[in-house]
Amino acid sequence: MVENSRQHLRESINLLVQANLAVRSQLVDNERLLAEALAQIDAGVAVEDILSAMPTVEERTANIEAVQKFYARRSDVRAAAIRAALDEGTNVSELAEAFGLPHETIVSHAVEAASEVDHR
């Protein structure tokens, strides 16, 4: 079980890294578009024409989705880390302190992890 939880943690971290890269890519694209808009403002381009340099609805939606996925993956890593630490014998108080979470949150992760084991 310990090895499974460690593998799950590893997979969760890999997914978080991928989500982080996607967010970073979105931010770089946005920064480029916004820099173009600033340059056009400084050049006296009409605002109507500048709007075409701003992120589109689709690009803004992609940004929001990338950030939401990042936060979901980050939550997955936290849950996987808690489960792996519990499997390795870390106690609830230590985990609550390490994550800055209430004991109840750690306990709920422990109960969920135990429930998953029972269903296997």
70 pLDDT exceeds 90? yes
- Helices in the chain by DSSP H: which ranges? 2-42, 47-50, 57-87, 92-99, 103-118
What are 8-43's pLDDT values in tens digits?
Answer: 999 999 999 999 999 999 999 889 988 998 999 999
Distance from C-alpha of 34 to C-alpha of 100, rounded to nearest angstrom: 37
Quick check: 7 pLDDT over 80? yes
Q: Give the highest mean pLDDT range of 3-7, 10-14, 62-66, 94-98.
A: 10-14
pLDDT of residue 116: 65
- Retrieve residue 81's tokens: 């880390």
Q: Of 6-10, 49-53, 77-81, which range is least confident?
A: 49-53
Q: Residue 15 carries which side chain, given as an amino acid letter? A: L
Q: Which amino acid is at 11?
A: E
- Reading the block at residue 15, the tokens are 């997914």
